[in-house]
C-alpha cells in the first residue's frame, strides 16, 4: 500500500515509517521538524543522539534498499497538504503530526492556543485534502486514552449505548480530558466523526495510551536509525522518564500519591497497531475507534517496578512523592476496553523486568547527555499565565 506517515520524524512516527517500509509498503513521511525546535526551546535533547532526517532516510536506503519519500512542511499550510496529497495519493494516511505534550500545552496562553491551532487546523486540512484528492484514503488518526479522562464507569472504545428516559441511542463516549492538549484530541475526534457522517470518510481514531520503550528492530539495526528518547519534565512520559531518573541517580518523581492509573503500550506494539489498522481499513462513513493500549498501570506501580529493577542492577534509586503539578484524580476507578486491536491480531509485548533493565542499561550508557535540571516538573496546571 501507499502509506503517508505524518509526524514521521517523531517518537512514534519514525519507527512506524521504518516498520511499514520493511513490510513492503511504499512509505512517505511528512514533517516540519518542529519537535526538534521544541527541544531547543526547552533546553533539552533526547537521551540518545538522533541523526538528521536526511541522514536517517539515506541510511535506511543503504541498509534496507528501500526508499522513503520526504515531504517537508507544516500540516497547517493548506497548499502544502493539498500538493503532497496530490503527489503521493496515499491509500492510508497515518496522522501522528501534532503537538503531543500535555505540560507544553499548559505552559501559558500562547502554548495552549498554539497546541489547539496546530492540532485542530492541521487535522482539518488533512480531512479536506483527503476528501478532495483521495476520498477512498483511510485516515488513521492518533488520538489518546486521555480523551476519556477517568470516569467512574467502564470506558468503551469510542462509542457507548445510552438509555435515557426510556429511549436508547449509540452515542460518542463522553469525554473529560485533563489538559488543553488532550482537549485538542477531543476536538479532532468530533471533527472526524462529523467528516464520516457528512462525507462518508474512512477514519480509524486510535486512542493510544502512554507509550514506553524506545527502539524497534528497525531503529535498533543501526545507530543512525536510533529513535528519540524523551525524559524531560515536559515531553518525557512516565516510565521512560522514571528510568532516566534512576539511571542518573535522580529522584523518581511520582506526582501526588501516584494512584493515577493509565493505559500503557510498548512502542513495538504501536507500530504493529498501525499496520493492523492499515490492513483492515474502516468502512466508508464509519468513525471507528480503537483503544490502543495493552495494559493498565498506576504511576506508583511503575515507579516501584523501576526501583526494584534498578536496585537489582546495583543502582540506588530514590522515589519521591511531589505535590502534583497537574489537576487530576489520584484515586479513581479505571477499567477501559481494549479488545478490538487484539481481535484483529495484535499480540502484545507486556511490560517485563527485562524491558525495564534494557532501558536502564541504555540510559546508563548515555548518562552524560542527561540534563538533570529538566527532570523536575516545570509546568503547573493551576497557574493560568497569560504570558
Ligand atoms: P512527537 O512529538 O515525537 O512527534 C510528532 C511529530 O509531528 C514531530 O516530528 C513533529 O515535528 C511533527 N509535527 C507536529 N506538528 C506538525 C505540523 N503541524 N506539521 C508537520 N509536522 C508536525 O510525538 P509522538 O510521541 O511521536 O506522538 C505522535 C502522535 O501520537 C501524537 O499525535 C500524539 O498525540 C499521539 N500519542 C502519543 C503518545 C506517546 O506516549 N508518545 C501516546 C498517545 C498518543
Ligand atoms: N506523572 C508522574 N510523574 C512524572 C510524569 C508523569 O507522576 O514524572 C504522572 C502524570 O501526573 C499522569 C501520568 O503520570 O498522571 C501520565 O503522565 P505522562 O506525562 O506520562 O503522560 P500524559 O501527560 O498523559 O501524555 C502522554 C503523551 C501524550 C499521550 C498520553 C496518553 O505525552 O501524547 O496522549 O500520554 S494518555 O495518558 O493515555 O492520555
ipTM of the complex: 0.99
Using CA positions, which residue lies closest to atom 11 of ligand 2?
255
Domain assignment present for residue 387? The answer is no
The whole-angstrom separation of Cα 238 and Cα 78 is 35
- Residue 233 Cα to ligand 2 midpoint, Å, equals 10
Q: Which ligand is nearest to the CA of 99?
A: 1
Domain assignment present for residue 288? The answer is yes
Domain assignment present for residue 383? The answer is no
pLDDT of residue 267: 98
295-298 and 261-266: which strand pairing?
antiparallel
281 Cβ closer than 6 Å to some ligand 1 atom: no
Phi-psi region of 43 (alpha: psi -120 to 50; beta: other; left: phi over 0): left
**Phi, psi (degrees; rounded to nearest 5) at 153:** -130, 165
Using CA positions, which residue lies closest to atom 19 of ligand 2?
237
- Residue 97 Cα to ligand 1 midpoint, Å, equals 5
Ligand 2, CB within 6 Å, residue ranges: 100-102, 144-146, 182, 209-210, 237-238, 241, 253-255, 258, 260, 262-263, 299, 326, 328
Q: Chain-centre distance of CA 166, in angstroms?
A: 39
Give me the number of domains the chain comprises: 1
Tell me the whole-structure pTM to 2 decimals.
0.98
Phi-psi region of 187 (alpha: psi -120 to 50; beta: other; left: phi over 0): alpha
The whole-angstrom separation of Cα 259 and Cα 226 is 33
Query: Catalytic site residue 185?
Result: yes
- Residue 228 Cα to ligand 1 midpoint, Å, equals 12
| 86's grid cell | 496530490
Query: Catalytic site residue 144?
Result: yes
Give the three-class secondary structure for 95.
strand
- Residue 12 Cα to ligand 1 midpoint, Å, equals 7
Q: Which ligand is nearest to the CA of 124?
A: 1
31 Cβ closer than 6 Å to some ligand 1 atom: yes
Sorted by sequence, the CB contacts under 8 Å of residue 177 that are 6+ apart come out as 146, 147, 148, 149, 183, 185, 186
19 Cβ closer than 6 Å to some ligand 1 atom: no
Domain assignment present for residue 382? The answer is no
Q: Which atom of ligand 2 is found nearest the CA of 236?
A: 19
287-292 and 202-208: which strand pairing?
parallel
| 108's grid cell | 501559558
CB atoms within 10 A of CB 37: 10
- Residue 101 Cα to ligand 1 midpoint, Å, equals 9
97 Cβ closer than 6 Å to some ligand 1 atom: yes
Domain assignment present for residue 242? The answer is yes
Domain assignment present for residue 386? The answer is no
| 188's grid cell | 479532532
Which residue reads 478490538 in cell numbers? 340
| CA distances for 251 relative to 58, 61, 151, 227, angstroms | 39, 41, 31, 25
pLDDT of residue 142: 98
pLDDT of residue 387: 85
Domain assignment present for residue 240? The answer is yes
- Residue 210 Cα to ligand 2 midpoint, Å, equals 6
Q: One digit per residue, pLDDT tens: the chain, 387 residues? A: 999 999 999 999 999 999 999 999 999 999 999 999 999 999 999 999 999 999 999 999 999 999 999 999 999 999 999 999 999 999 999 999 999 999 999 999 999 999 999 999 999 999 999 999 999 999 999 999 999 999 999 999 999 999 999 999 999 999 999 999 999 999 999 999 999 999 999 999 999 999 999 999 999 999 999 999 999 999 999 999 999 999 999 999 999 999 999 999 999 999 999 999 999 999 999 999 999 999 999 999 999 999 999 999 999 999 999 999 999 999 999 999 999 999 999 999 999 999 999 999 999 999 999 999 999 999 999 999 998
pLDDT of residue 130: 98
Q: Which of 185, 237, 255, 355 is catalytic?
A: 185
Q: Which atom of ligand 2 is found nearest the CA of 255?
A: 7
CB atoms within 10 A of CB 237: 18
CB 217 within 8 A of CB 16: no
The whole-angstrom separation of Cα 313 and Cα 169 is 54
Please provide the size of the chain in residues. 387
Please give the radius of gyration of the chain, using alpha carbons only, rounded to the nearest integer: 20
Handedness of CA 358, 364, 368, 370 (dihedral sign): positive
Using CA positions, which residue lies closest to atom 5 of ligand 2?
238
Full DSSP string of 323-371: PPSS---SS----B---HHHHTT-------HHHHHHHHHHHHHTGGG--
The whole-angstrom separation of Cα 156 and Cα 372 is 39
CATH of the domain at 260: 3.40.50.720
Domain assignment present for residue 325? The answer is yes
- Residue 190 Cα to ligand 2 midpoint, Å, equals 22
The helix (run of H) or strand (run of E) holding residue 145 is none
| 29's grid cell | 513521511
Q: Which of 144, 253, 270, 355 is catalytic?
A: 144
The whole domain housing 353 covers: 2-374
Query: Catalytic site residue 181?
Result: yes
Which residue reads 477512498 in cell numbers? 136
Amino acid at each position: 500500500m501507499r502509506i503517508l506517515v505524518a509526524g514521521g520524524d517523531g517518537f512514534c512516527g519514525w519507527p512506524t515509517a521504518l516498520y511499514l517500509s520493511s513490510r513492503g509498503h511504499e512509505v512517505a513521511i511528512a514533517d516540519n521538524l518542529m519537535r526538534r525546535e521544541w527541544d531547543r526551546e526547552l533546553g533539552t535533547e533526547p537521551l540518545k543522539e538522533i541523526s538528521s532526517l536526511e541522514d536517517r532516510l539515506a541510511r535506511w536506503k543503504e541498509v534496507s534498499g528501500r526508499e522513503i519519500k520526504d515531504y517537508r512542511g507544516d500540516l497547517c499550510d493548506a497548499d502544502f497538504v493539498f500538493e503532497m496529497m496530490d503527489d503521493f495519493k496515499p491509500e492510508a494516511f497515518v496522522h501522528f503530526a501534532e503537538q503531543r505534550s500535555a505540560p507544553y500545552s499548559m505552559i501559558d496562553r500562547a502554548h495552549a492556543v498554539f497546541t489547539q491551532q496546530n492540532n485542530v487546523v492541521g487535522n482539518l486540512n488533512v480531512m479536506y485534502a483527503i476528501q478532495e484528492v483521495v476520498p477512498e484514503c483511510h485516515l488513521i488518526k492518533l488520538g489518546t486514552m486521555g480523551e476519556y479522562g477517568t470516569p467512574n464507569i467502564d470506558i468503551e472504545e469510542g462509542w457507548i449505548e445510552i438509555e435515557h428516559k426510556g429511549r436508547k441511542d449509540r452515542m460518542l463516549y463522553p469525554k473529560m480530558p485533563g489538559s488543553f492538549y488532550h482537549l485538542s484530541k477531543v476536538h479532532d475526534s468530533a471533527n472526524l466523526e462529523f467528516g464520516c457522517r457528512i462525507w462518508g470518510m474512512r477514519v480509524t481514531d486510535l486512542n493510544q495510551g502512554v507509550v514506553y520503550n524506545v527502539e524497534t528492530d528497525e531503529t535498533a539495526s543501526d545507530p543512525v536509525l536510533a529513535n528519540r528518547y524523551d525524559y524531560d519534565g515536559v515531553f518525557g512520559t512516565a516510565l521512560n522518564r522514571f528510568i532516566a531518573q534512576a539511571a542518573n541517580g535522580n529522584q523518581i518523581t511520582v506526582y501526588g500519591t501516584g494512584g493515577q492509573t493509565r493505559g500503557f503500550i510498548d512502542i513495538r506494539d504501536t507500530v504493529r497497531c498501525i499496520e493492523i489498522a492499515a490492513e483492515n481499513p474502516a468502512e466508508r462513513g464509519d468513525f471507528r475507534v480503537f483503544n490502543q493500549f495493552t495494559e493498565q498501570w498506576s504511576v506508583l506501580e511503575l515507579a516501584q517496578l523501576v526501583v526494584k529493577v534498578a536496585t537489582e542492577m546495583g543502582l540506588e534509586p530514590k522515589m519521591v512523592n511531589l505535590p502534583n503539578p497537574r489537576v487530576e484524580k489520584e484515586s479513581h476507578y479505571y477499567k477501559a476496553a481494549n479488545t478490538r486491536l487484539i481481535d484483529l491480531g495484535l499480540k502484545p509485548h507486556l511490560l517485563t523486568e527485562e524491558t525495564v533493565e534494557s532501558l536502564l542499561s541504555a540510559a546508563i550508557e548515555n548518562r552524560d547527555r542527561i540534563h538533570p535540571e529538566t527532570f523536575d516538573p516545570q509546568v503547573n496546571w493551576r497557574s493560568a499565565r497569560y504570558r
